[in-house]
Chains A and B, each alone.
Chain A
Amino acid sequence: MSNDTIVSVEPAPSALLDSASRARPYRMKRYPFLALVLLAPLILFGLFGPQLNLHNPAAIDPANALLPPAFAGGDWQYALGTDHMGRDILSRVIDGARSSLIVALFGVALAGMIGTLVGMMAGFFGGRTDEVLMRLVDIQLAIPPILLAVLLAAVIGGGLTTVVATLTITFWSTYARIVRGETLSLMQRDFIALARVAGASRSRIMFRHVLPNLLSSVVVLATLQLGAAVGLEAALSFLGLGIQPPESAWGLMIADGRLYMSQAWWIPTLPGLAIVMTVMGANMLGDWTRDWLDPGLRRL
């Protein structure tokens, strides 16, 4: 009976909750508040940009080159200033947002489809299929993403294809690894055994019974990777391997602005802030989605 006293030493639940909430003051519980605040300007400008009567992002105006942003003594007509060719930085950042986000979403989605399929097959069939597919994952992890892009760019040249291919090849393996693990544990569950007994075909079990149970993990992973994808795209465009000049992209703007930074600090700085806001917003949205949909993935 003397053992009982030791058991009761556990802290009261309220104390546990309290210290947990104090540890993360920035994370709202129910809604991803800060993530939405960070992403709001992007979404709003993306949707209502055309109504705002902004300058044409590609319009060159040498008379108004290198104007400072409004908060640094410039004119509100060019709220974020102009670059070396007199192009409006605000409208270029907004225009760049569109191409960056579309490319990142596309790459992550493509990687998600391939990775999910591979991971599901590895977990479902096991044995040699599993071994081969997982070795492929190991190989992919040995090549840093930027190098992959460099290799592709050396052969097919830079551009949209190179970026999307790099994003896809970079991110598929994470999905494959996670989905494989989830599939393996799903295969132990009773409903799969019952589906087998009921005479369901392999493809029916895979796509009707296993896949729907994987979707929340896949959605969480996709959100978590979105930020990384935006960052990678920016780096590739910065190196000239990604989105090409007539288009606007944040990485390109920074590469251009670098040459003029001694006269106009705002040209490389502002697009970078847009990247930081987007990536941070996407990362926090990913964290929130994970906590909400799939707390088991927290160790990632």
Chain B
Amino acid sequence: MLRYVVRRLLFGLVALFGVSLITFLATHLSGDVTWLLVPMDASEAEIAAVRQRYGLDLPLYQQYAIYLQNVLSGDFGTSIKYNTPVLELVWSRVPGTLVLAGSGFLLALMIGVSLGINAALHRGTRIDTGLTLFGLIGQAMPGFWVAIMLQLVFAVSLGWLPTGGSGSFRHLVMPAIAVSWFSIAAFLRLTRSAMLEVLDADYVKFARVKGNPERVVILRHALRNALIPLVTFAGLNLGALLGGTVVIESVFAWPGLGKLMIDAIASRDYPIVQAGVLTTATLVIMINLCVDLLYGLLDPRMRNE
């Protein structure tokens, strides 16, 4: 088990290193980044001064080494627009994104899994057909469009919920549903097929023959074994969910990392984008690491791979 944990930790570190390399190189894609930092009418001397100040006259690998060193010591650069350290800006938005992604994930897990179990238990009936169809359509609906449709119905027509903003539970309802929409459908389909697979297994029949109540058979014997593919998917899904918040935050003006980054693009504030992407990717890698470890606990066979 220890070997497995160490190996996973190393994978995580390599991935983090790779992500930092990508965020670094991406900003150099356009060749020279000096023009992002200087005003349009800068003179030759000003440009040279900026290049020297940001170390842009050094070879690329040295620039990367400096960048990495700065990032590791918590220096993500200075925002071009606000002229404050990027780390503070990004850090102040992390809770917003985590709250949104977390509640979306919980919603997807609760609704998706319970609908999936129901579909599997009512296999072949109208309930199953309806839920399966809902899963198919739900997976085809883009999150941002779901968000706008929710606004149209619950904010514009009915006036029950605020169109956007944050501060209360009422503000969270629609963004959380929009973020989780795709995942609800995905969890439904996955749980259904995972449950169908284990419901036929001998140990489930045996649990029933032993005289266990149906509830215990379903929850303790069937669902627990159906969990393995679900946990893997849940981990991968959290990454997608975090990506999804970027769009949903913009629709609902929710103060999270995604909104910060999209707004930063308009003002070409690339240090913010760089730090935002790095932060989100770090979150995704850490989540995947936890999932891998959890996977090892759930399925002892995985540890030896």
Q: Which A residues fall within an 8 A CB radius of B?
A: 19, 22-26, 135-136, 138-139, 141-148, 150-156, 158, 227, 231, 234-235, 238-239, 241, 251, 254, 258, 261-262, 265, 268-269, 272, 275-277, 279-280, 283-284
Please give, as numbers and ranges, the residues of chain A lying within 8 Å of B269 by CB-CB distance: 154
A8 to B291: give the CA distance in the assembly, Å. Answer: 42
Asked if B60 is at the interface (CB within 8 A of a chain A CB), the reply is: no
Q: Which residues of B contact A (CB under 8 A)?
A: 11, 14-16, 18-19, 22-23, 26-27, 29-30, 33, 123-124, 128-129, 132-133, 136-137, 139-145, 148-149, 151-152, 156, 196, 236, 239-240, 242-244, 246-247, 250-251, 258, 261-262, 264-265, 268-270, 273-274, 276-277, 280-281, 284-285, 288
Known: A150-B273, A268-B148, A272-B142. 12 other contacts (CB 8 A): A23-B124, A138-B15, A142-B18, A142-B281, A151-B277, A231-B140, A235-B144, A238-B142, A258-B251, A261-B148, A265-B152, A272-B141
- Contact across chains for A138 and B14 when beta carbons are under 8 A apart: yes
- Per a CB cutoff under 8 Å, which of A26, A239, A268, A275 touches B247? A239
**B242 (CB) vs chain A CBs: closest residue:** A144
In contact, B277 and A147 (Cβ under 8 angstroms): yes
CB contact between A136 and one of B18, B244, B246 (< 8 Å): that residue: B18
Contacting pair B274 A151 (CB below 8 A): yes
- Cβ B281 vs Cβ A235 within 8 A: no
| Interface of A: prevailing SS | helix
Picked from A23, A146, A277, the residue with its CB within 8 Å of the CB of B246 is A146
A254 pairs with B145, CB closer than 8 A = yes
Q: Is the CB of B143 within 8 A of A262?
A: no
Chain B: which residue is nearest A145 at the CB level? B243
Known: A151-B274, A261-B148, A269-B149. A235 touches B247 (CB 8 A): yes
Expressed in whole angstroms, the Cα–Cα distance for A23 and B125 within the complex equals 8
* Closest Cβ neighbor of A227 among chain B residues: B140
Instruction: Enumerate chain B residues within 8 angstroms of A25, measured Cβ to Cβ.
Output: 129
